[in-house]
Amino acid sequence: MRYHRPVTRRRFLSACGAASGLASTIQAQSYKTKNLILVTSDGLRWQELFSGIDPRLMNEKAAGMTKAHAAELRARLWKPRPEDRRLALMPYFWGTLAPAGIVLGNVTKGSSVKVTNRYRGSYPGYAEILTGRAQDDVIHGNDPVQNPTPSFLEFARQKWHVPRQKVAVFGSWEMFHYIAESRRGEIFINAGYEACDVPAGSPVVDELNKLQLEARFGDGARHDAFTFGLAMEYLKNVAPRLFYMAFDETDDWAHIRQYAEVLHSIQFVDDALRELWTWVQNSPAYRDSTTLIVTCDHGRGSTLSDWYSHGQDVEGSDETWIAAIGPDTSATGEATHAATYYQRDLAPTALELLGLGGGGYAGMLGKPIDPILGSRT
């Protein structure tokens, strides 16, 4: 026989207080963010992001520049102060996005964002971003193996019960078919040299599909301009709630030691962010309800002999950066003397902002990044 305690006035008031406290907690953790856009730029070093053109590389013949080309870049991008150099290289990022949001990872100012995977490569880094954990026992490098862990993109789609087109990935690198989902077809992915059929019948999409093949320059990654063009047409016509754009050329050009092209690729990313965020802020479906997070998959070396490389044996490959702007993120600008954050913290941060928490997404090791969560309502 189960014993039932009588409900006294004290117990009743205590229960009411507990319910009120729970309601306050739920209210305190509700966010204005309804949509989230993630952008990554492969291997974009924190050194260029925070300090602009590297004063050593701009004079280095090994960086793949002719004397005349180096002189042109110096004339356009060199300034004595790192804050002025970075503004010259990325005027929209530092002139508009950063002041209205937050940027983490300037090591010289006491801020650090680190990868936790052992390999400090592209697939391990992207998998860490998308799953909130390192998977060193399975993901060792860039081999084409399906991610064994569902990404937070898949988790969100399942929680929302929305069509797969409402959670979408556009990547220059074909490997995103392996990285971004654990089961093929769970979310919408267009990656590598692949025609896009959404929106159907679009003359812009048809032309981009044609041009990406005509301008083919490698086996696994198309030009970022085509990825961005297709992604923007998809965004405008399908209105996904969760959207991921992954640029690649900042890494490709570095690996073949073409520093001038690395800088051009960084400037392309800056222009893409300008077009993207301007459109978002002018779209009734996205304005004031969308958070933009920008980051990279790994760092690179910091010397003349390893700036073009990365990996577990290259010092500095574990240092990355994160930027965020949105209705819940306070206008902090460049973070200084901040706590250390980790690449694995991005997935729980995204889920928290979207009101999904992390409770049902098993195995995450990261924690939400409080400065990005910012002002709560």
**DSSP of 147-198, one letter per residue?**
-SS--HHHHHHHHHT--GGGEEEEESBTTHHHHS-SSTTSSEEEESS----S
Domain extent listing, the chain: 35-373
Mean pLDDT of 309-317: 97
Q: In the numeric block, which tokens belong to residue 71? A: 């002189």
- pLDDT tens-place string over residues 66-118: 888 888 899 999 999 999 999 999 999 999 999 999 999 999 999 999 999 99
Quick one: average pLDDT of 160-176? 98
Closest CA to 104 of 368, 318, 346, 334: 334
Q: Which residue has the tokens 């960086």?
A: 63
pLDDT value of position 341: 98
What DSSP string describes 298-360? -----STTTTT--STTSTTTTEE-EEEESTTS---EE--SPPEEEGGGHHHHHHHHTT--STT
Backbone angles phi, psi at 333, to 5 degrees: 80, -145
In the predicted model, is pLDDT for residue 194 greater than 60?
yes
- Sign of the four-CA dihedral 364, 370, 373, 377: positive
Query: Regarding the domain with residue range 35-373, which homologous superfamily does it belong to in the CATH classification?
Result: Alkaline Phosphatase, subunit A (3.40.720.10)
Give percent of the chain above pLDDT 90: 84
Mean pLDDT, all residues of the chain:
91
The pLDDT of 298-321, averaged and rounded, is 97
Interacting residues of 208 by C-beta distance below 8 A, sequence separation 6+: 196, 226, 229, 230, 233
Please state, in angstroms and rounded to a whole number, the distance separating the CA atoms of residues 71 and 352: 47
Please report, in angstroms and rounded to a whole number, the separation of the first and last CA atoms in the chain: 46
| Beta-sheet strand order (sheet of 242-247) | 188-191, 167-171, 242-247, 35-41, 290-295, 322-325, 102-104, 333-334
Q: pLDDT, tens digit, for every residue of 122-150?
A: 999 999 999 999 999 999 999 999 999 99
Nearest partner of 153 among 35, 326, 49, 19, judged by Cα: 35
Contact 343, 129 (CB under 8 A): yes
Q: Which structure tokens are listed for 329?
A: 């993120």
Examine residue 199 and say whether the peptide bond preceding it is cis (omega within 30 degrees of 0): yes
| Percent residues over pLDDT 70 in the chain | 92
Using only the alpha carbons of the chain, give its radius of gyration: 22
Separation of alpha carbons 174 and 197, rounded Å: 17
3-class SS of residue 4: coil
Q: Where are the alpha helices (DSSP H) in 305-377?
A: 346-353, 370-373
Q: Which residues contact 166 (CB under 8 A, 6 or more apart)?
A: 157, 160, 238, 239, 240, 241, 242
Task: Give helix then strand counts, H and E, for the chain.
Answer: 15, 11
Residue type, 120: R
The pLDDT of 322-328, averaged and rounded, is 98
Helix (H, G, I), strand (E, B) or coil at 37: strand
Provide the pLDDT confidence category of residue 176 given band limits of 50, 70 and 90: very high
* Chain mean position to CA 334: 17
pTM over 0.85: yes
- Stated as kind and residue range, the H or E segment containing 35 is strand 35-41
Angle, CA 246 vertex, CA 32 and CA 45 arms, to 5°:
100
